[in-house]
Structure 1
Amino acid sequence: MRLGLALPTFGPDAHPEGILSVSRSAEDLGYDSLWTGDRVLAPRTPTAPYPSADGVMPRSYENHMDPLVALTFAASHTTWVELGTSTLNGLWLPPLMLARSLTTLDLLSRGRLVVGLGLGWMPDEYAAVSVPWKGRGARLDETLDVLDGYWAGDVFAHEGPLFSVPETVVGLVPGRPSGPPVLLAAFTPAGLRRIGRRLDGWLPVAMPLPQLMGLWDVIRKEAVAAERDPAALRMALRVNPELTDTKTDADRMPRAGTLGQYVDYARACAEAGVHELFVDFGQTPATLAERIDLAGRFIEGVRRG
Structure 2
Amino acid sequence: MRVGIDVFGAERFFDGAIRGALDLAVLADRAGVDLLTTSDHLGFTRQAHAERVRTHAFPFPLEQAWPEPLSLLSAVAAVTERIHLGAYVLVAPLRPAVLLAKQIATLDAVSGGRARIGMGVGWQEDEYAAAGIPFRGRFGRLEETLAACRELWEAESPSFDGSDFAFDDFHSLPRPVQKRVPVILGLGSSQRNFDRIARVGDGWAVTPADMPDLEAGVARLRQTFVDHGRDPGAAEVQVLLPVQVRDDGAADFDAMADAARSAVAAGADTVLLRPSALPVEGAELDAVVAWLVSLTDG
Regarding TM over 0.5, the answer is: yes
Task: Tell me how far apart the structure 2 counterparts of residues 276 and 115 of structure 1 sit (CA, whole Å).
Answer: 13
Partner of 1:214: 216
Alpha-carbon displacement from aligned partner over 1:172-225 (angstroms, at most 9, x marks no partner): 2211123x1111011142212211333110001457866101111111121122
Asked whether the 8 Å contact 2:85–2:116 carries over to 1, the reply is yes
- Using the TM superposition, name which of 96-105 and 133-142 deviates more: 133-142
52 and 293 in structure 1: CA distance in 2 versus 1, 3 angstrom threshold = farther
Asked if 1:297 corresponds to 2:291, the answer is yes
CA distance in 2, matches of 1:258, 1:224: 38
How is 1:12-27 mapped onto 2 (pairs within 5 angstroms)?
A: 12=12, 13=14, 15-27=17-29
Q: CA deviation at 1:158?
A: 1.7
Task: Please point out which of 69, 84, 88 is paired with 2:86.
Answer: 84
- Tell me whether 1:62 sits opposite 2:56 in the alignment: no
Asked whether the 8 Å contact 1:185–1:203 carries over to 2, the reply is yes
Contact 2:108 2:176 in 1 (8 A): yes
Per-residue displacement from partner, 1:111-143 (whole Å, max 9, x unpaired)?
100010011011111111111110112211211
Backbone CA RMSD of aligned residues: 2.7
- Structure 2: stretches of 5+ with no match in the other structure: none
Q: Deviations over 1:142-174 (max 9, x none)?
A: 112211210123321222221122322344221
Cα gap change, 1:70/1:173 in structure 2, threshold over 3 Å: closer, same or farther?
same
Answer yes or no: is the 8 Å Cα contact 1:117–1:183 preserved in 2: yes
Call closer, same or farther: CA 1:3–1:61 in 2, change over 3 Å: farther
Q: Could you tell me the TM-score, scaled by structure 2's length?
A: 0.89
- Output the CA distance in 1 between the equivalents of 2:164 and 2:125: 19
Of 162, 165, 173, which residue of structure 2 is paired with 1:163? 165
Any unmatched runs of 5+ in structure 1? 249-255
Change over 3 Å in CA distance of 1:43–1:216 after alignment to 2 = same
Question: What is the 5 A alignment of 1:143-154?
Answer: 143-154=145-156
Q: Name 2:275's counterpart in structure 1.
A: 281
Task: Answer 1 or 2: higher relative contact order, Cα 8 Å, separation at least 6.
Answer: 2
Asked if structure 1 preserves the Cα contact closer than 8 Å seen for 2:245 and 2:252, the reply is: yes
CA shift digits 1:79-133 (9 cap, x unpaired)? 0011111100111111011100010001100110001001101111111111111
2:184 alignment partner in structure 1: 183
Q: Note if contact 1:60-1:283 (Cα within 8 Å) is conserved in structure 2.
A: no
CA contact (8 A) 1:10 1:60 kept: no
8 A contact 1:111–1:174 mirrored in 2: yes
2:37 match: 35
The answer to whether the 8 Å contact 1:11/1:59 transfers is no
Q: AA paired with 2:7? A: L
1:267 aligns with 2:269: no
The alpha-carbon distance between structure 1 residues 195 and 61, as it changes in their structure 2 partners (threshold 3 A), is farther
8 Å CA contact 2:251–2:278 kept in 1: the answer is no
